[in-house]
Amino acid sequence: MNLKKKTTLLIVALYGAMIIVLAFVSLVTFREFSISTAKEHVRSVAEVIRVSLTESMINGVIDKRDPFLKRLSEIEGLSQARVIRGPVVIQQFGSGLDRETSSDDIDQAVLTSGIPYFSMLEGDGPPVFRGTIPFIASDTGTPNCLQCHSVAKGQVLGVVTIHLSMGQLRTKALQTIGIMLAIIASFAMFFAFVLRRQISPVVRIAQGVQHVVARATDGDFSGKIDYRGNDEMGLISRDLNRLMQHLQSNLGSISHDISKLIRYEIEANCNLVTATTEMVETLLEVAQFKQAVEEDQTTQEIYLRISQLLTEKFGVSTFSIYEVLPGNNNIRAVVVDADPQKPIFWCDAAILRHADSCRAHRTGHLIDSFDNCYICTQFQYSDPASNLGHICIPIFHSGQVGTIIQIVAQRSEGPVYQFLLPFIRTYLRESSPTVEAKRLLDTLRESSIRDALTGLHNRRFLMDYEDTLVATTLRKKNNLSFLMMDLDHFKQVNDTHGHDVGDTLLKALAKTLRSQVRTSDIVVRYGGEEFLVILQENADFTGTKLAEKIRVAVEQTKIQFSGGVLQKTISIGIASFPADGDEFWDVVKAADLALYAAKKGGRNRWVCYDPKLADNHP
């Protein structure tokens, strides 16, 4: 129910209640007034009868009283008048007329008590007011009662009973009340009309505010109140219109700027408040995500955090995160379906060796197979029968694609992820600088612990890894073999064929060493033509076995160069940890002493460390 109807009903209810109350009060008042007036009329008529009877008795015409009483009954409004003699009068003058002796219980009660009696008689006809008045003997006035009656003062001589018809009086009273109520009702209608006109602007403003606020709740701030009055209502409407215009302009501008920031296109009929709130909340969550990413230590931690974001925030369960390896045109799958250990699954493994075969890497564009199922030939489920689609999001580092996020889903879910895509890209875009910085740090760190010529780890890596290697070995109660080796007569190669051929020889040796050891073993270019291999020994793979294996492989290796073919040998010293020393570098020194012994012993051989070697070393 609107305000206008409520106001109208309230006015009608108030005036209706007022009219009912006035009608009730008027009826009660008129009734009391009528009864009071009737009492006075009865007393007056009774007094007239008493005086008339007294005069008739004095004048000796008391026997003529009956016509008088009959004529009284004929008076309009006086339906009955009868006189009843009391016992003292009957005793002195007899019973009198027949009508003067008939009485009812009320007459007898008044004769006995001397107290007047009044009552309203209700029946089928008009109401009648009855009054029974006692005639009390009195000595006042001339003539008086005691002049004719032999009674004491104060005795009841008789009673007069009068019936007054109240029908005409009641009719006039009702007419008067009706006229009064009609006047009041007319005034109430006029007042209600005037009041409605006065509150009409308030109702219009309230309805306008309700309409404008309802539209504003739905994100539409273009609503206005059409009221041009100069009163307070006009001031309210103008202020509210200015407020809506201000919100429409500024909130729209804010929403537009935020949408540009997160690259999200706002629909024309969307709720501006809801859309802006969601975008602001997204920016807040993105800022928190960016802070968390910046506090991660490694790129792998960041990739796992992105994986967690896709899974928990956006409900993506099947996806891949690829890292483009700089310089060698390779790609590495770092996370597949939230599992960092899972191998590549959704794309052809060829992209791992040839990064340019990946369309997202090659073009730097977003790849969406939900719109075109055959857009990428490397996606292994591009056949429509698989009912799968994918979106590949390239992330740029220093102007080149450094990371690729691949989302895989049922084709029916494609529109959902296309809608979420701007929000996902916002998170990825904010994390991109941190990923790039972490990767750069990893590259710098890797370059600081790798030999630039051979690609093997250098002595710096050995210094960094020393504590971890020793702690792991002691915890597992294992043994480590240290193989320190040196190419025989390497200086002659540099002197005879030049440093380029010497570098080629070192690269070939590094390749040979990598081919002879396990992935768990460590190969280090210790310095110059010296190399160090550290392996975890077991029954099938000991230091001496590996040393012989390496010696034979090097001896059989032929290195082609522009001046011919080179074939070199190698000398190897072997020491064991912790058997040959409690400290890491003591064992390295022991292996170096064994290498010296191998060279001294004729080269192209391996020698195990013996404590006596320390005594014989100059």
Give pLDDT tens digits for 139-187.
777 777 776 777 788 888 888 888 888 777 778 878 888 888 888 888 8
Residue 399 is assigned to a structural domain of this protein = yes
pLDDT band at 261 (very low <50, low <70, confident <90, very high): low
Tally of domains within the chain? 3
pLDDT digits (tens, 9 = 90+) for 294-342: 888 888 899 999 999 999 999 999 999 999 987 778 999 999 999 999 9
* Mean pLDDT of the region 239-267: 68
Q: What is the CATH number of the domain that holds 358?
A: 3.30.450.40
Regarding whether 606 and 512 lie in a shared domain, the answer is: yes
CATH number at residue 41: 3.30.450.20
pLDDT at position 91:
77
Same domain, 32 and 165: yes
In a domain, 434, yes or no: yes
The pLDDT, as a whole number, for residue 268 is: 55
- Per DSSP, the residues of 385-452 read GG-EEEEEEEEEETTEEEEEEEEEEEGGGHHHHHHHHHHHHHHHHHHHHHHHHHHHHHHHHHHHTB-T
11-15, 347-351, 515-519, 613-617, range with the lowest pLDDT: 613-617
Q: Are residues 345 and 369 in the same domain?
A: yes
Average pLDDT of the residues in 60-79: 73
Residues 530 and 415 in one domain: no
Predicted local confidence at residue 409, as pLDDT: 94
- pLDDT of 260: 63
Give me the chain's average pLDDT, please. 84
Express as a percent the part of the chain with pLDDT over 90: 28
- 193 inside domain: no
Is 485 a residue whose pLDDT tops 70?
yes
Distance from C-alpha of 249 to C-alpha of 236, rounded to nearest angstrom: 20
User: Which among 155, 171, 187 is the end of a domain?
Assistant: 171
Say whether both 503 and 592 belong to one domain. yes
439 with 463, same domain: the answer is no
- pLDDT exceeds 80 at position 433: yes
Q: Which of 384, 415, 448 is the last residue of a domain?
A: 448
Q: Which pLDDT value is given to residue 5?
A: 72
Residue 506 has pLDDT above 60, yes or no: yes
**66 occurs within a structural domain:** yes
301 — phi, psi (to 5°)?
-65, -40
The confidence score (pLDDT) of residue 101 equals 64
Residue 556 lies in a domain: yes
Phi-psi map region of 455: left, alpha, beta (phi>0 left; psi -120 to 50 alpha): left
Least confident interval from 251-260, 270-279, 518-527: 251-260
Indicate if 429 and 546 belong to the same structural domain.
no
Judge if 395 and 511 occupy the same domain: no
C-alpha 144: how far from its chain's center? 102
pTM higher than the cut 0.75: no
Name the one residue in this structure whose structure tokens are 């739905």. 218
In a domain, 190, yes or no: no
Domain end point (choices 407, 428, 448): 448
Q: How far apart are CA 495 and CA 491, in angstroms?
A: 6
Same domain, 381 and 512: no
Report d(CA 516, CA 546) in Å as an integer.
8
Residue 178 domain-assigned (yes or no): no
How many Cα atoms within 13 Å fall on the side-chain side of residue 457?
Answer: 17
Residue 93 has pLDDT above 90, yes or no: no
Q: Is the peptide bond before 394 cis (omega within 30 degrees of 0)?
A: no
- CATH number of the domain at 577, please: 3.30.70.270
pLDDT of amino acid 77: 75
514/593 same-domain check: yes
Q: Would 152 be classed as within a structural domain?
A: yes
Q: Are residues 12 and 73 in the same domain?
A: yes
Residue 98: give the domain boundaries: 3-171
Q: Are residues 482 and 562 in the same domain?
A: yes
